[in-house]
Amino acid sequence: MRLPALLCALACLSAAPGPVAGGDRSCTDLRQFYAGKGFTLAAVPQTEISGEHLRMCPQGPTCCTSTMEENLANLSTRETEGLIREAGRSLQASFNALHRSFDTYFTELHSCSERSLQEVLSPLGPLYSQNTRLYGDLYTDLRHYYRGSALNLDETLSEFWSHLLERTFKISAPANVNLSEDYLECVAKQHETLRPFGDIPRDMKAKVIRAFVTARSFIQGLIVSGDVVRKVSQVSLSSECIRALMKLVYCPHCRGLASVKPCSNYCSNVMKGCLANQADLDPEWHNLIDTMIQVASSFSTEPSLDVVLSSIPARIYEAVHHLQENMDTFTAKVYQTCGTPGEPGTGSPTLHEQWRKSGSLTASEYKPSPTAGLRLEMQVSDLSSKLREMRQYWIQLPIALCSKLAAGSASRDKCWNGITKARYLPEVMGDGLASQINNPEVELDITKPDMTIRQQIMQLKIMSNRLKNALDGNDVDFQDASDDISGSGSGMCVGGQCPRSRPGLYAYAPDNNQVAGAAMSQNHLCSPLFFLLLVILLLQR
């Protein structure tokens, strides 16, 4: 009885469907699609062929040749890189818009303050009219600093007050007293020790330096951020990613499932693998954006940016008025230090006497209007809200790309999972290179991070530190981070050894007989080895 049973089993197995060596299904749809992508139809099959030659797509009945697979793989890479660059350009445009907005606001604030010089300082008489260049040069230096010039603001402001002291002392002296250049230089040196202008220069210096350091650093932060986005968006995709993208985007076409979109989680794993290095920007990117928001908020902290800039002329007037009120005491101290320049004669009344008749003027009379304060609040609010929108960019980029490629949640059971039309079972990986060690779709060596992106991470870190120093009123020059990149490893491995493992194959529930036949073909259910094992089992019964 065993022999008839064996023959019956073999007969049943021989009737089972085997691999398709050249199916009957037409390739017309794929030919139209392929031609629509700009490729020639030469050597494109008219009907399905056996797919043992495929290297990226699942093997089985297909309308794609090896050349077509390679062409479509290159196309999917170009298209994905195009989407990444497009997203990057959009973010760059946002940074450029913020740059233009703040730069326009700040330069207008600066120019308005400079234009008020004549109105505020004209009561000084000759001290203003004969020294307009001194005041103009101060604003020019401040403007150059804001634009990136390597000026030391502390020294610049100290030199201004020294020169102003020299001019004030000279013009306040009796007309017949001859003051030599050496004597005036000696007078100017008393600026720090005798403090002829009171506390105004020190107070004004601290506020002006803080305002201009934060404004310049903020502008540079916007520029650096946009530049990082530009450089990272141009990083080429890896060969492993190219294979994964082909399988994700165009293998459904090769399998006759052109209308089936990739599963959302499947797309997420592919994109998280392809953009793993980019996602490692996230911590420092977060840090930079948050610090820029802090700096933007500091613009409206008392004394606010508009108050500091608009009150510069009035603070200068206050300082000179303070000196004139105490000129007798200051002159006596100068005579003790620099000597007596000569006996005072009967000249014209001193400027000091003229001012006593004209009264005083304080900086409080030159505060910005309520409209100016409202404009600053709107500026800070707009900057902060737009910066917050950019915080999640690098970890949201895979999601954004998949929103253009993948099927919605309603098609969870009828989407392309990399093999067939069915649910995608593997879990979604985390963000960043270290989280991709078990990515089932993109094989990555997490011990070899992309060095271009690591350099940009260092640039973000340097810019963040610069902005944090700016919040304290400290200016720190940029430094080249290239020498530090070698020490900026991700810290994901111990002793340079990173374990690597990959999940096993996972099963899918086919939704039709054709797919079931293809799946059986891939699992080699009709191989000679299977026949041999079955025969042995039957004979042992």
CA dihedral 323, 325, 326, 327 (to 10 degrees): 70
**What does each C-alpha distance from 32 to 28, 39, 40, 46, 251 come to in angstroms?**
6, 10, 10, 11, 16
Q: What is the mean pLDDT of each run of 10 residues along the chain (541 residues)?
A: 40 36 75 94 91 92 95 96 96 97 96 93 89 95 93 92 86 71 79 85 94 95 97 95 96 93 96 97 97 95 91 94 86 81 45 45 53 87 96 96 85 90 95 95 93 96 95 66 34 34 30 37 40 42 41
List, for residues 273-290, the tens digit of each pLDDT value: 999 999 999 999 999 999
What would the DSSP string read from start to end of 152-188?
Answer: -HHHHHHHHHHHHHHHHHHHHS-TT----HHHHHHHH
Q: What angle do CA 34, 40, 43 make, to 5 degrees?
A: 95
| Nearest Cα residue to 323 out of 350, 348, 352, 349 | 352
> Cα-flanking dihedrals φ and ψ of residue 530, to 5°?
-65, -40
> Would you tell me how many other CB atoms lie within 10 Å of the CB of residue 103?
16
Measured N-to-C along each axis, helices 393-405 and 264-274 cross at an angle, to the nearest 10 degrees, of 140
| Nearest Cα residue to 226 out of 116, 92, 88, 82 | 92
Break the chain down into helix, strand, coil percent, rounded to 5. Answer: 65, 0, 35
Check: CB of residue 262 under 8 Å from CB of residue 248.
yes
Given this model, what pLDDT does residue 359 score? 43
Long-range pairs of 84-93 with CB within 8 A, sequence gap ≥ 24: 84/233, 84/275, 84/397, 84/401, 85/233, 85/234, 87/233, 87/397, 87/400, 87/401, 88/229, 88/230, 88/232, 88/233, 88/234, 89/233, 91/226, 91/229, 91/390, 91/393, 92/226, 92/229, 92/230
Tokens 């049973």, located at residue = 5
Q: Give me the residues paired with residue 26 across strands.
A: 47
> Cα-flanking dihedrals φ and ψ of residue 497, to 5°?
-105, 125
Say how far apart CA 417 and CA 18 lie, in whole Å.
23
Given this model, what pLDDT does residue 54 score? 94
Given this model, what pLDDT does residue 25 score? 86
**Rg of the Cα trace of the chain?**
38
**Tokens, residue 418:** 């990399």
Burial of 189 (0-12, 13-18, 19+ CB in 10 A): middle
Check: CB of residue 453 under 8 Å from CB of residue 283.
no
**Tokens, residue 443:** 């094989």
Say how far apart CA 17 and CA 131 lie, in whole Å.
100
Three state DSSP letters for 64-78: CCHHHHHHHHHHHHH
Tokens 């700016």, located at residue = 470
**Tokens, residue 173:** 């002296």
CA atoms within 13 A on the CB side of 64: 31
List, for residues 180-198, the tens digit of each pLDDT value: 777 877 887 777 788 889 9
